[in-house]
């Protein structure tokens, strides 16, 4: 708390907190005594708030300080080649605020000014080219909203329920509105030769994160993006330029994109041999598992977002997405998959973007085993974890899109569980 005019006093804040707590318990019942938050004049109704010069670029209000990226120390050897998680349990709608959108780096988030930025197109092209950042801003531009999901999202859950919260089990994802130039335009500017079949894309960072992408995909919908959710990319998301590869695993969305090379064959780089290959039960491994299949998760109630209001009206909400197209339907089960109800999509499903779903219920206070099941426009239905394990075994690491179960207890707390 500060002493600036208009700031609520500590006493006022504590009182408000107590009154709020009372209101939570009371629910829709009649008031026993007048609410001082109404009957007493509050400081914010009398004094000034902040001036318009107080916050040239604002942060969330302090009461939302728990809505932050979190990391899990034991997952990786260090925090430089590591991952953190978006607080999806606390968000609503579909657009992820950039400031808490998850990060995955292999050699840290680098600082690359626009003036120092260069993009090279080389290999099997008529004219290898170098673009400056200013050059890129002169190409015709498009806007698209896409999800970016790490291939390893939910990967820790292959062997069973491990991490207790949607942020940790499903938070390697964000969804942003990107502005940029179709990769196709840049490739056409250089002139792709007929023998070109792949592009190899790499970043300016030490890890380079090089990946091979079939030319068809590169010419279809890949986007060289420099704005996200209206503003420049955040440093940790690839400032000033990243690649968007709609519907495909996040590893391929090269940040700090510095080079696109047209080749005849895949390079088979470290990030598509040692990593981002999915080992099956018999010891063979799938490679080039690019598409992220249809998936969903209930974000509330969930372990980090328990029910605090007692029985009665309850909003069950969550996210659904598919790399194969638009979400067409989400079903919700309250009994661990014995029976299902179709939820309501807040908006019609968008191609390869997050969809928000709601199921409004009257909770009677009994235990629930909550699940959600996404369907996309191709007819693909999100499988159970056990259905995936029957095909893949336990060691795939990546591409776990199995149905998540939350055990909601009578006291409103929720836990990550597996069910039969």
Partner 1 sequence: MSRSRNLSAAALLLALTGPAQAGHFGLGRPALPEEVAAWNLDVAPDGVGLPEGSGSVEDGEEIFSANCAVCHGEFAEGVGNYPKLAGGEGTLDRDDPLKTVGSYWPYLSTVWDYVHRSMPFGAAQVLTVDEVYAVTAYILYSNYLVDEDFVLSNENFLEVEMPNADGFIVDDRETTELPRFSQPPCMTDCKPEVEITMRAAVLDVTPDEGQ
Near partner 1 by CB under 8 A: residue from 28, 56, 113, 283 = 283
Report the DSSP pairing between strands 242-244 and 231-232: unpaired
Find the shortest distance in angstroms from Cβ 136 to partner 1. 8
Near partner 1 by CB under 8 A: residue from 161, 232, 345, 361 = 161
Near partner 1 by CB under 8 A: residue from 284, 308, 347, 411 = 284
Provide DSSP, 157-217. GTTS----SHHHHH-SEEEEEEEEEEHHHHHHHH-B-TT--EEEEEESSTT---EEEEHHH
Interaction between residue 200 and partner 1 (CB under 8 A): yes
Near partner 1 by CB under 8 A: residue from 9, 273, 366, 411 = 273
Q: Which residues contact 70 (CB under 8 A, 6 or more apart)?
A: 84, 85, 87, 167, 168, 171
Interaction between residue 138 and partner 1 (CB under 8 A): yes
Residue in the block written with tokens 């500060």:
2
Nearer to partner 1, 23 or 130 (CB): 130
Cβ-in-10-Å burial (0-12, 13-18, 19+) of 21 comes to exposed
Closest CA to 254 of 277, 231, 222, 216: 222
* C-alpha 235 chain-centroid distance: 17
Binding to partner 1 (CB under 8 A) within 297-316 occurs at: 303
Binding to partner 1 (CB under 8 A) within 316-355 occurs at: 331, 335-340
Find the shortest distance in angstroms from Cβ 358 to partner 1. 19
Q: What angle do CA 345, 328, 384 make, to 5 degrees?
A: 100
Closest CA to 122 of 179, 202, 180, 181: 202
Near partner 1 by CB under 8 A: residue from 24, 287, 312, 411 = 287
Binding to partner 1 (CB under 8 A) within 6-45 occurs at: none
Q: In whole angstroms, what is the distance from residue 386 CA to residue 394 CA? A: 10
Interaction between residue 290 and partner 1 (CB under 8 A): yes
What number of chain residues touch partner 1 (CB under 8 A)? Answer: 100
Near partner 1 by CB under 8 A: residue from 83, 95, 96, 131 = 131
Structure tokens at 98: 């950039």
Interaction between residue 128 and partner 1 (CB under 8 A): yes
Find the shortest distance in angstroms from Cβ 60 to partner 1. 17
Near partner 1 by CB under 8 A: residue from 25, 47, 51, 81 = 81
Interaction between residue 288 and partner 1 (CB under 8 A): yes
Nearer to partner 1, 33 or 78 (CB): 78
Interaction between residue 70 and partner 1 (CB under 8 A): yes
Near partner 1 by CB under 8 A: residue from 49, 51, 99, 160 = 160
Binding span for partner 1 by CB under 8 A among 41-49, 88-96, 155-163, 239-247:
155-163
Nearer to partner 1, 176 or 218 (CB): 218
Residues 285 and 277 sit within 8 Å (Cβ to Cβ): yes
Q: Which residues contact 256 (CB under 8 A, 6 or more apart)?
A: 110, 112, 203, 204, 205, 238, 239, 241, 242
Interaction between residue 133 and partner 1 (CB under 8 A): no
Integer angstrom CA distances of residue 208 from 113, 253, 259, 338: 17, 12, 10, 47
Find the shortest distance in angstroms from Cβ 227 to partner 1. 18
Here's the x/- map for partner 1, 359-378, by CB under 8 A: it reads as: ----------x---x-x--x
Binding to partner 1 (CB under 8 A) within 233-262 occurs at: 258-259, 261
Reply yes or no: is the peptide bond before residue 240 cis, omega within 30 of 0: yes
Binding to partner 1 (CB under 8 A) within 379-418 occurs at: 379-383, 387, 391, 394-395, 407, 415-418
Closest CA to 299 of 311, 316, 286: 316
């Amino acid at each position: 708390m500060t002493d600036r005019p208009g700031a609520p006093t500590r006493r006022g804040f504590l009182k408000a907190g107590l009154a709020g707590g009372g209101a939570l318990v009371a629910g829709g019942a009649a008031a026993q005594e007048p609410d001082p938050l109404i009957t007493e004049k509050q400081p914010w109704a009398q004094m000034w708030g902040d001036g318009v010069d107080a916050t040239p670029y604002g942060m969330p209000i302090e009461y939302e300080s728990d809505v932050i990226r979190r990391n899990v120390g034991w997952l990786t050897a260090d925090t430089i080649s590591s991952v953190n998680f978006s607080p999806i349990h606390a968000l609503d709608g579909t657009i992820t605020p950039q400031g808490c959108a998850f990060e995955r780096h292999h050699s840290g988030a680098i600082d690359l000014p626009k003036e120092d930025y260069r993009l090279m197109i080389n290999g099997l092209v008529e004219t290898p080219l170098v673009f400056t950042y200013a050059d890129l801003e002169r190409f015709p531009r498009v806007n698209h909203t896409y999800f970016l999901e790490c291939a390893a999202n939910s990967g820790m859950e292959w062997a069973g329920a491990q991490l207790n919260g949607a942020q940790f089990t499903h938070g390697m994802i964000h969804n942003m509105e990107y502005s940029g130039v179709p990769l196709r335009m840049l490739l056409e500017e250089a002139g792709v030769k007929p023998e070109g079949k792949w592009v190899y894309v790499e970043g300016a960072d030490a890890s380079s994160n090089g990946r091979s992408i079939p030319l068809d995909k590169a010419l279809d919908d890949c986007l060289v993006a420099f704005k996200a959710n209206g503003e420049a990319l955040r440093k940790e998301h690839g400032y000033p330029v990243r690649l968007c590869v709609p519907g495909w695993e996040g590893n391929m969305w090269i940040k700090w994109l510095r080079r696109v090379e047209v080749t005849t064959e895949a390079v088979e780089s470290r990030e598509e041999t040692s990593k981002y290959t999915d080992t099956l039960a018999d010891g063979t491994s799938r490679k080039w598992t690019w598409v992220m299949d249809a998936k969903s998760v209930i974000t509330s109630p969930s372990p980090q977002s328990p029910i605090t209001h007692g029985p009665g009206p309850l909003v069950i909400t969550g996210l659904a997405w598919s790399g194969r197209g638009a979400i067409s339907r989400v079903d919700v089960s309250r009994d661990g998959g014995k029976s299902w109800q179709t939820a309501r999509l807040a908006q019609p499903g968008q191609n390869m973007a997050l969809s928000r779903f709601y199921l409004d219920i009257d909770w009677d206070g009994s235990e629930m085993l909550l699940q959600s099941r996404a369907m996309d426009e191709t007819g693909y239905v999100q499988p159970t974890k056990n259905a995936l394990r029957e095909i893949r075994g336990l060691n795939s690491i990546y591409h776990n899109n199995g149905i998540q179960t939350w055990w909601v207890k009578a006291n409103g707390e929720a836990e990550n569980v597996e069910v039969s």
